[in-house]
Amino acid sequence: MKIEFLEKKISYIFENKNIIKRALTHKSTGLSEHNEQYEFLGDRVLGLIISEILILKYIDLSEGNLDKIFSTLVNKDKCAEVATHIGLGEYLILGKTEIASEGKYKSGILADACEALIASIYLDGGYSAAQDFINNNWLKSINSIDINFKDPKSALQEWSLKKYKKLPDYKVAKQEGPAHSPTFTVKVQFNDYKVAEAVSGNIKEAEKKAAIEFININSLEI
């Protein structure tokens, strides 16, 4: 594993290589030094830095609108997207079962590894180093946000209540993968409209994707 190639991609050189090694080590290896705790820390660091960026960028937005924007930026799907963009899967240290099942391509494992990577940068280089990494990898998404957008699930709910006085029905149709990195298939149905489904490593994100799919396949004007 050539850490220097990853360092070049993320524009950060680690002082302590053991920190980045732990961030890349999945618990399927059976090693005591794995990245699960780093995932926990990285999620909080990401949330704090994104929150700071948003309140500085959108000084007039209400807490509710800030929270909606925040949820599009701080989630497993976005972390997996960033991990894929930087090729993080190629550097992961996986156990035999995950190697055999191509775990380096699994969105859940990639998302967790991205959070662990953020934590490792924070632990090695401090807040500003983590801030630089997040700015470099989230800025495009932040700048492309439509501040007047509605959360697709909320928009679908408002439409169904206004038109029919009842809510769409969301169900987890399937759960696959290991307990530490599951994927969920969520279905949304409503009256006689076409049923929509979506897959994600997070139930809430799967529900949002399913809501978007429902709106699209039924050509709803919302």
Catalytic residue list contains 77: no
Catalytic residue list contains 43: yes
CA distances from 130 to 14, 43, 86, 139, 151 (A): 12, 12, 15, 13, 28
DSSP 14-83: -S-HHHHHHHHB-GGG--SS-SHHHHHHHHHHHHHHHHHHHHHH-TT--HHHHHHHHHHHSSHHHHHHHH
Q: Which of 115, 124, 205, 213 is catalytic?
A: 115
Q: Which of 43, 98, 124, 205 is catalytic?
A: 43
The two tokens of residue 124 are 């090695």
Q: Are strands 183-189 and 196-200 parallel, antiparallel or unpaired?
A: antiparallel
Helix (H, G, I), strand (E, B) or coil at 151: coil
Let me know: does 110 contact 80? Beta carbons within 8 Å: yes
How far apart CA 33 and CA 4 sit, in angstroms, is: 21
Q: Are strands 169-176 and 183-189 parallel, antiparallel or unpaired?
A: antiparallel
Which residues are known to be catalytic? 43, 115
